[in-house]
Amino acid sequence: MKVLHIIATPRDLHSNTMPVTAAFLEGLRDRYPDLSVDTLNLFAEDLPAVAGDNIETKYTLLIGKPIDKRHKESWEQIERLIAHFLSADIYVITTPMWNFSIPYALKYYIDSIIQPGYVYRYNEQGQPVGLVHGKKMVCITSRGGDYSDQGPFHAYDFQEPYLRAIFGFIGISDMHFINAQPMDVTQLLRETAIASALNAVHDLVSTVAWDSNPTIIDLNLPAALKPKPLPL
Ligand SMILES: Cc1cc2nc3c(=O)[nH]c(=O)nc-3n(C[C@H](O)[C@H](O)[C@H](O)COP(=O)(O)O)c2cc1C
């Protein structure tokens, strides 16, 4: 079982979020000793360009045309990134909230890997169909303030809904969130938030069968409209 740990904080050892993820990964390793964890530190990676040749290739693919020779070499970097993403069984994303949403490095990664024909396609009816099935995702976030369900700032949380939407769009239906909050108000509130996040980690590690495949949600399409693989 392979975990891809996607790190979207630039704060390394000072990170508020990382200790929560570290506890999650430690718990998972205790339960599944053969677990392998691959780390992708987005603020330390040189990700392929989204603009330039690659943006034109994306539009070429969207209209179902083959990639020409001139664009192929550059596009292979995107393909390698997607292949790396698809090689995992479980995704763990460590991300702070930045300006109510996600840090730009995570958005950039998403812009790189969410490509037509690889992780989603449009069917004959023009409906999007996710192509990434059988995976689980855990998003461990932390926020300076409190955006929890009952609080007055819940509506400003564009982070969890966005991550649920974009990864749900490509077919990942088995998603879990642990949001540590508020981290930057007082020391006491931070300690309470971390303790509560660590409790949530304990529950999550022990209650989910991490080695089972999730239920596939396929947008309730009738059998005739089920996706066929695209010629890439
Ligand atoms: C650029 C930037 C933007 C931020 N925007 C928000 C925000 O919109 N809401 C919030 O509650 N906290 C915000 N914060 C605070 C972080 O979410 C908070 O400190 C978090 O715990 C940091 O996690 P980290 O140490 O793992 O990076 C922001 C921090 C930075 C650096």
pLDDT in tens, 178-189: 999 999 999 999
Residues in the ligand 1 pocket, defined by CB under 6 Å: 9, 11, 15-18, 96-100, 142-145, 183-184
Res 214: pLDDT: 63
Residue range 2-225 forms a domain whose CATH class is: alpha beta
Res 149: pLDDT: 95
pLDDT in tens, 47-91: 999 999 999 999 998 888 999 999 999 999 999 999 999 999 999
Res 216: pLDDT: 56
Identify the segments of the chain with pLDDT beneath 50: 219-222, 224-232
Res 207: pLDDT: 97
Q: Which residue ranges make up each domain of the chain?
A: 2-225
Give the pTM.
0.92
Q: Which residue's alpha carbon is nearest to atom 25 within ligand 1? A: 15
DSSP code of residue 10: S
The rounded Å distance from CA 140 to ligand 1 centre is: 13
DSSP helix, strand, coil percent of the chain (3-state; round to 5): 40, 20, 40
Q: Which residue's alpha carbon is nearest to atom 4 within ligand 1? A: 98
- CA dihedral in degrees (10, 15, 19, 22; nearest 10)? 10
